[in-house]
A = this chain, B = another copy of it.
Amino acid sequence: MDRVISYIEREKSRSINELTELLRIPSISSQTEHKKDMEKCADLVVNYLKSAGFEDVRIVPTKGHSIVYAQWLGAGKDAPTVLVYGHYDVQPVDPLDLWHSPPFEPVIKDGKIWARGCADDKGQLFCHIKSLEAHFKTNGKFPVNVKIVFEGEEEALESHLDEFIQNNSELLACDYTIISDTEWFADGLPTICYGLRGISFVEVTLTGPNRDLHSGSFGGAVDNPLNVLCKMVAQLKDNNGRITIPGFYDDVIDISQKEKDEFKKLPFDEKHYCKDLGIKSVNGEKGFTTLERIWIRPTLDLNGIVGGYTGEGAKTIIPSKASAKLSMRLVPNQNPEDISKNFEKYFRSLAPETVSVDVKLAPGGNPVITPLDSKAVKAAVSALKSAFGKEVVYMREGGSIPVADMFSSVLNAETVFMGFGLPTDNIHSPNENYSLENFYNGIKASAYFFDFISKV
């Protein structure tokens, strides 16, 4: 392993240069105008995988964006097989005017690289490419059989990865899956994430009058879809911050006091948290702490609303339409499909007859828990300790990685989340950034992981 680590040290500047090239490509999967960029990005990932030692690298087309698949089975039938998951697509970039430098022109500053996708998830998946390259260039082989699944639809409204996994369970058969798309609890605290929330995503549109109306000539007599939308949305939570959709909490598992006590040991500073976010106080479901609200309680957030005149100045209309995008974060054992259906039923029941309601349900993701005593988690813990020279802490995450549930249910593989992101990375926001220290040591941690998992 010493020679592998030396190789990684030696190739640092090439690694960051190659990552920079990857970050220059605006691979925004949810915007159709970036279709070509998605292809370009997949091609570059393929090239990097080939340089890392993979001969069998494939671009797998889907109805949406392609999956990059690679495999190296040279370790033999008796050796374990590790499947590495990542995504090469990124979030949209608006509001663009809040970025300090253009999102697709990476800048290195203050020990970080700044660009859309640097932390979520190009920078993290690249750690594995570089660690595998280090093994290959040093030893002419990988320590275990490796399969790579890098998707291009993690940030898209519709993903075809589930279909791919379900239809290719033999091709993808593996013992372990490793996912690096999570954050540490804090800078300097290498962290294993052992639970993720699931998600339901919906888009709703109300239509009232068949055209925009003069709010003077019609105001007061004709229901305004914007006022109605606000009223309907306001009813989705009660004054205790609890979601009012019937049956919403039926399948929520209450966690043990022991687990809650562990959360309390983590160095969470609420004052600092609020200060960093620029808010006077936190707010959420009554009876729960901030970490509990994020990690073990479901929630419902508006992600966007639009309706009426939103340009400069005044246009005094009653708009014909009003739309909103909403997501619900889910916890074990809530089922995204059931939750979405219950949402739709309840939301429709809140509508007066003066508006028509359109609801679009996007495929959701299940919440996930990984056992702390699994071999994969243990190998990851050791790898983080070796690479960063620090004790590891355990946390859960409020975000969602829908594929994690597929890996455990379809492939029956032990999953581990070993991420290198930090809470200050601004993922999904302007000025996304990724710590260079975590990038370089992340490559080493990945290298150690493949070594350790080959020996368990």
Using a CB–CB cutoff of 8 Å, the interface residues on chain A facing chain B are 29-32, 91-92, 94-95, 98, 155-157, 183, 197, 199, 201, 208-224, 226-227, 229-231, 233-235, 237, 277-285, 290, 293-294, 297-319, 322-323, 325, 327, 329, 352-354, 362, 397-400, 423, 426-431
> With A and B bound together, what is the CA distance between A307 and B229 in angstroms?
14
Identify the closest chain B residue to A227 (Cβ). B302
Docked-complex contact A299 and B219, CB < 8 angstroms: yes
> With A and B bound together, what is the CA distance between A362 and B294 in angstroms?
40
Partner among B300, B314, B325 whose Cβ is within 8 Å of the Cβ of A309: B325
Whole-angstrom distance between the Cβ of A92 and the nearest chain B Cβ: 5
Q: Which residues of B contact A290 (CB under 8 A)?
A: 221
Docked-complex contact A353 and B281, CB < 8 angstroms: yes
Contact status of A354 and B280, CB under 8 A, knowing A30-B313, A220-B299, A325-B309: yes
Whole-angstrom distance between the Cβ of A89 and the nearest chain B Cβ: 11
Whole-angstrom distance between the Cβ of A32 and the nearest chain B Cβ: 7
Docked-complex contact B305 and A306, CB < 8 angstroms: yes
Docked-complex contact A218 and B398, CB < 8 angstroms: yes
| Contact sample, A vs B, 20 pairs, CB 8 Å cutoff | A29-B313, A32-B312, A92-B309, A94-B311, A155-B314, A197-B216, A210-B278, A211-B430, A214-B398, A214-B399, A216-B400, A217-B423, A224-B301, A227-B300, A227-B301, A234-B234, A303-B316, A303-B318, A314-B327, A314-B362
Q: Which residues of B contact A362 (CB under 8 A)?
A: 314
Docked-complex contact A283 and B352, CB < 8 angstroms: yes
Whole-angstrom distance between the Cβ of A183 and the nearest chain B Cβ: 7
In addition to A220-B299, A221-B293, A224-B301, 18 A-B residue pairs with Cβ atoms within 8 Å of each other are: A31-B312, A201-B316, A211-B277, A215-B301, A215-B327, A217-B398, A218-B277, A218-B294, A218-B398, A221-B290, A222-B283, A223-B279, A230-B230, A281-B354, A303-B309, A304-B319, A305-B305, A314-B327
Docked-complex contact B210 and A277, CB < 8 angstroms: yes
Q: Which residues of B contact A319 (CB under 8 A)?
A: 303-304
> With A and B bound together, what is the CA distance between A212 and B427 in angstroms?
9
Partner among B211, B322, B325 whose Cβ is within 8 Å of the Cβ of A98: B211
> With A and B bound together, what is the CA distance between A92 and B316 in angstroms?
10
Question: How many copies of this chain does the complex contain?
Answer: 2
Q: Which residues of B contact A218 (CB under 8 A)?
A: 277, 294, 398
Contact status of A429 and B214, CB under 8 A, knowing A223-B283, A278-B209: yes
Q: Which 6 A-B pairs have the closest CB atoms?
A: A216-B399, A30-B313, A210-B278, A304-B308, A220-B299, A234-B234
Docked-complex contact A156 and B284, CB < 8 angstroms: no
> With A and B bound together, what is the CA distance between A304 and B319 in angstroms?
8
Docked-complex contact B398 and A219, CB < 8 angstroms: yes
> With A and B bound together, what is the CA distance between A183 and B212 in angstroms?
17
Whole-angstrom distance between the Cβ of A443 and the nearest chain B Cβ: 24
Identify the closest chain B residue to A322 (Cβ). B305
Docked-complex contact A277 and B310, CB < 8 angstroms: no
Docked-complex contact A429 and B278, CB < 8 angstroms: no
Docked-complex contact A213 and B307, CB < 8 angstroms: no
Whole-angstrom distance between the Cβ of A48 and the nearest chain B Cβ: 27
Q: Which residues of B contact A318 (CB under 8 A)?
A: 301, 303
Partner among B32, B294, B308 whose Cβ is within 8 Å of the Cβ of A217: B294
> With A and B bound together, what is the CA distance between A323 and B155 in angstroms?
26
> With A and B bound together, what is the CA distance between A234 and B277 in angstroms?
26
> With A and B bound together, what is the CA distance between A317 and B231 in angstroms?
21
Q: Which residues of B contact A230 (CB under 8 A)?
A: 229-231, 233-234, 302, 305
> With A and B bound together, what is the CA distance between A375 and B333 in angstroms?
77
Whole-angstrom distance between the Cβ of A46 and the nearest chain B Cβ: 25
Which of A155, A156, A231, A423: most chain B Cβ within 10 A?
A231
Q: Which residues of B contact A298 (CB under 8 A)?
A: 220
